Structure 1
Amino acid sequence: MDYYSLKMRASQQVGEGEQRHEQHISGAERIVARENVEAVCSAMVRRAMTHSKGDPDFINVKIEKVHESDIRILKALPVTRVDVETWQEGLEKAFELIGEAVGSAAGGAGTDAIREFANKLPELLRKTFPMRGAMLYDIATGKRLEPDQARGVRATYMDALRGNVVDSCKNHFNEAIVLATKVANAPGIVAEICISDDPEYVTGYVASKELGYVRIMKMKEAGDENGGRIFLFDSRKASAEECIDYLQKKKVLVDVDGRMA
């Protein structure tokens, strides 16, 4: 059976004069059977037109045929939920987990090295807030590897393995675990940290093959439109080109059956 990749992006022009620029409003992507293309496209446009960040000036929908033989099926990462009292506590927990993952990947780095890296994470994360994609950070060299650092690297061509579901409402959990599972399986990826840019959604996550998908229930203040993600990568295990090619081109369906939001 042939499938179709559907991608939607909506934006709005903000500012005046030289300060005028494009602001991201909404985005979504699916991989669906032919008979669902029209309904899912309509649902995507409805989602863009009703987003809490405002009315878009521009909506782009891209439709691309995908052959079943080109699709890889992945089992979703196991899920752990972490409840915290404050967003500061949530960030602290996220940075701690990332530090441990990087230390393990580095062959059991010492406490001081892990702490030093964890101290860099807040600044690195802030740098991702204006980016459409993710930062690709090499833990072996301390360098950023995105070809375009203003845009970042985007993980695309993915969906949940869920048959004929058509939904215009964003399900943050389902979309996040699909993306996190694909990223965790990319060549050279050590871990990922993500905070949503949706002002109404304060939950974030840390994920890796070893950690699974760790859902941290509060990682920013309600109403905060800032969000971003970092892919932690180890150039001793794969090339950046190999990793980026997988993230941006490999078609993936993720079996999320039994994973709880």
Structure 2
Amino acid sequence: MDYYSLKMRASQHVGEGENSHEQHISGAERIVGRDSVEAVCTAMVRRAMNHSKGDPDFINVKIEKVHESDIQVLKSLPVTRVDVETWQEGLEKAFELITPLMGSGCGLREKLQELLRATFPMRGAMLYDIATGNRLEPDHERGVRATYMDALHSSEVDGCKNHFNEAIVLATKVANAPGMVAEFCVSDDPNYVTGYVASKELGYVRIMKMKEMGDENGGRIFLFDSRKASAEECIEYLQKKKVLVDVAACHPERRA
């Protein structure tokens, strides 16, 4: 069976003159069978046109055929839920989970806070090498994007964003990339305050409050170890490897 990779990106022109730039409004991607292509594309456009961030000036939909033999099927990371009272407590919990994976050293928590702030204007994720302390993304403004992924046997065609499903699929693919240590994510959706940390060791840990409602800032950090793989190998996997994640195999969410 052949599949099709569908990608949608929507943006809005902001500012004038030297201050003008394209602001990201919405993005989505799927890997579906031939019979679902038209319906899913329509749903993607509908999603872009009805986003809380405003009306897009530009919508791009890309359709690409994918052979089944090129797809890797992965079992979903196990899920843990962490409830917190405040977003400050949520960030502290995330730092607490991530810091031991980065090795020994002073000021790791402060470094993570600094890195997170640096991701806010980026279009993709930061690729940070814990072995050298260097950023490895080829373009610091664009960052690195994990693409070509979906949930296995997914039949959804509506345009509603399912934050959990999309996040668990992305986190599972990222965790399996060569040299990957962990992922740290805070959504840039102003109406969604849940974030997560994820790795093969931690699983997918949902932290239910990591920012204030209405805050449009968000970012993603891929913590990578260059002693285990090259940056080129990691980026190639994240951006080119076709992956379907067996979300149905995910264990029931447990609370920490």
Is contact 1:9–1:59 with CA below 8 Å preserved after alignment?
A: yes
Q: How many Å separate the matches in 2 of 1:164 and 1:220?
A: 32
Equivalent runs, 1:1-261 vs 2, <5 Å: 1-103=1-103, 109=104, 113=105, 115-257=106-248, 259=250
Write the distance in 2 (CA, Å) between the matches of 1:241 and 1:23. 28
Alpha-carbon distance in 1 for matches of 2:3, 2:159: 19
| TM-score for both structures, normalised by structure 2 | 0.96
Residues in 2 aligned to 1:223 and 1:253: alpha-carbon distance in whole angstroms: 32
For the 8 Å contact 2:75–2:249, the answer to whether it is kept is no
Gaps of 5+ in 1: 104-108
Cα pair 2:184 2:198 within 8 Å, conserved: yes
| Partner Cα separation in structure 1 for residue 169 and residue 46 of structure 2 | 22
Contact 1:90/1:218 (<8 A) preserved: yes
Range 11-20 or range 247-256, more displaced: 11-20
The one-character-per-residue Cα deviations of 1:210-247 (angstroms, maximum 9, x if unpaired) are: 00000000000000001110000000000000000000
1:18 deviates by 1.7
Runs of at least 4 residues off by over 2 Å? 162-165, 258-261
C-alpha distance in structure 2 between counterparts of 1:243 and 1:21, whole Å: 29
**Structure 2: how far apart are the matches of 1:31 and 1:101?**
32
**Can you list the C-alpha shifts for 1:124-148, whole angstroms capped at 9, x where unaligned?**
0111111111000000000000000
Cα distance, 1:162 vs. partner? 2.3
TM-score norm. by structure 1 comes to: 0.95
Q: Report the alpha carbon displacement of residue 258 of structure 1 after superposing the two structures with TM.
A: 5.2
Cα distance in 2 for residues equivalent to 1:101 and 1:63: 38
Total equivalences in the alignment: 252
User: How far apart are the structure 1 equivalents of 2:82 and 2:15?
Assistant: 38
Deviations 1:166-220 (A, max 9, x none): 1210000000000000000000000000000000000000000000000000000
Distance (Å, rounded) in 2 between the aligned partners of 1:70 and 1:178: 17
Counterparts of 1:163 and 1:29 in 2: how far apart (Å)? 12
| Contact 1:33 1:164 (C-alpha < 8 Å) held by counterparts | no
CA distance in structure 1 between the partners assigned to 2:101 and 2:198 by the alignment: 9
1:106 aligns to what?
A: none
Aligned-partner residue type, residue 205 of structure 1 = Y
CA distance in 1, matches of 2:150, 2:33: 12
| RMSD of aligned residue pairs (Cα, Å) | 1.0
Give ranges in structure 2 of 5+ residues lacking alignment: none
Amino acid at match of 1:122: Q
What do the CA deviations read for 1:78-125 (whole angstroms, capped 9, x no partner)? 00000000000000110111101222xxxxx3xxx2x52122011101
Identity score, percent = 83
Counterparts of 1:79 and 1:102 in 2: how far apart (Å)? Answer: 21
